[in-house]
Amino acid sequence: MIRVLMALLAMTSLGVHAFEGTPQLSDPVKQRRYETLTHQLRCMQCQNETVADTPAKFAVDIRRQVREMVEAGKSETEVRQYMVERYGEVILFKPLWNAANSWLWLGPGVFLLGGLYVAWRILRRRGELLASDTSEVTDEAERP
Amino acid sequence: MNRFSTTLVVFGLVVIVFAVALSRAPDKQVVTSALIGKTAPEFTLPNLLQPGTTVTNTTLKGRWYLLNVWATWCVECRAEHSVLMDIQREGKVVVLGVNYQDKDDDARQWLLDLGNPYEFVAVDRDGRVLIDYGGYGAPENFLVNPQGIIVKKTWGLTPKSWLAIRKEFIDGVKP
């Protein structure tokens, strides 16, 4: 159990990366916002890493840009929008909630409900079959 | 038998859905940009070849130009350089250089060695202009029309790919 919990923690924790030369922002709220954002933006140079996770040139530039915008009081949404306007939605790891993406968000739920419905039908049929089964149970040993 | 054929039909449908989705999936090699059809961001940056002065793309309105992001550490840029020289020789499209995360002296030496196809070279030391253009490396090329709209983005140019771009956007279109 402990091991599972540790594994879960390891998977969900925001990596703590102290990049050289980037001191914490003085305002803890802004620091938090900066960390959240850099963990949500894709490094376009390295594709499957966030800009917080890599020392690539591109990520360094984006981190600085995010930092400056957060420092200037921009909200998370404003920074994300700024990035999407320039790089497209692909820069966000988490897809936006809009009509085109709705199937991404709703699809799993629809499949789950469909699965539950099928399971419910199978179980109900099995119940009915059992209830309507009037044949007597014969003991294997008594068979001729 | 009935159950078997149902399974088969469902499986067939899944195969069809995947086949259609995969055949329609965008090719990862094709560069798309969120800025196609939008106004090219304006910039004012230090001038590589005349230190102490600045350059800007605002003066280019009314002409076709190709914004070329390059650096001396970029191998593909060296391969692409002769195409840029050809474009400059053709004279239909102005070539602007944005020198990205590089050293001034190295960049100047590069132009002495390989020739200078650029109307001017802007110095983008920390990649701010590149971010504004939704770029993330070198080489990257943005073709801007006389109205100042970005019509095309590519990574490295080859003689063939430039020919295709020129045919599609510039030939036959009076600026």
Over residues B105-130, the pLDDT tens digits come to: 999 999 999 999 999 999 998 889 99
**pLDDT of the residue at B27:** 65
Q: Is the ipTM of this complex over 0.90?
A: no
Partner A contacted by B131 (CB < 8 A): yes
C-alpha A23/C-alpha A20 separation (Å) is: 8
Which of A21-35, B4-18, B25-39, B61-75 shows the lowest mean pLDDT across its residues? B25-39
- Whole-angstrom distance, CA of residue A42 vs CA of residue A49: 6
Please say if the pLDDT value at position A21 is more than 60: no
pLDDT(B136) > 70 = yes
Q: CA triplet B56, B57, B63: central angle to 5 degrees?
A: 145
Task: Tell me how far apart the alpha carbons of residues B67 and B57 are, in angstroms, rounded to a whole number.
Answer: 9
Identity at B22, one-letter amino acid code:
L
Q: Judging by DSSP bridges, how do beta strands B140-144 and B65-70 pair with one another?
A: antiparallel
Q: Which residue of A has its CA nearest to B35?
A: A86
Closest chain B residue to the Cα of A44, Cα to Cα: B136
Contact B156, B80 (CB under 8 A): yes
Residue B166 has pLDDT above 50, yes or no: yes
Average pLDDT, chain A: 84
Answer yes or no: is pLDDT of A39 > 90. yes
Cβ-Cβ contacts under 8 Å between A and B: the total is 33
User: Contact, B153 vs B40, CB < 8 A?
Assistant: no
Flag if A88 and B130 touch (Cβ within 8 Å). no
- Around Cβ B20, how many Cβ atoms within 10 Å? 10
Confidence of residue A82 (pLDDT cuts 50, 70, 90): very high
Q: List, as ranges, residues 43-102 from B with C-beta within 8 Å of A.
A: 101
Strand partners, A92: A41
Closest residue of chain B to A84, computed from CA coordinates: B34
Task: Kindly tell me the sign of the dihedral angle through the C-alpha atoms of B159, B28, B38, B79.
Answer: negative
Nearest by CB: B34 against A57, A62, A87: A87
Percent of chain A with pLDDT over 70: 78
Residues on chain A touching B130 (C-beta within 8 angstroms) = 61
Count CB neighbours of A116 within 10 A: 10
CB atoms within 10 A of CB B89: 8
Contacts for B170 with CB less than 8 Å, ≥ 6 apart: B64, B92, B93
Convert the pLDDT of each residue in B44-85 to its tens digit: 999 999 999 999 999 998 999 999 999 999 999 999 999 999
The Cα–Cα gap between A51 and A61 comes to: 9
Q: Is the pLDDT of residue B174 over 80?
A: no
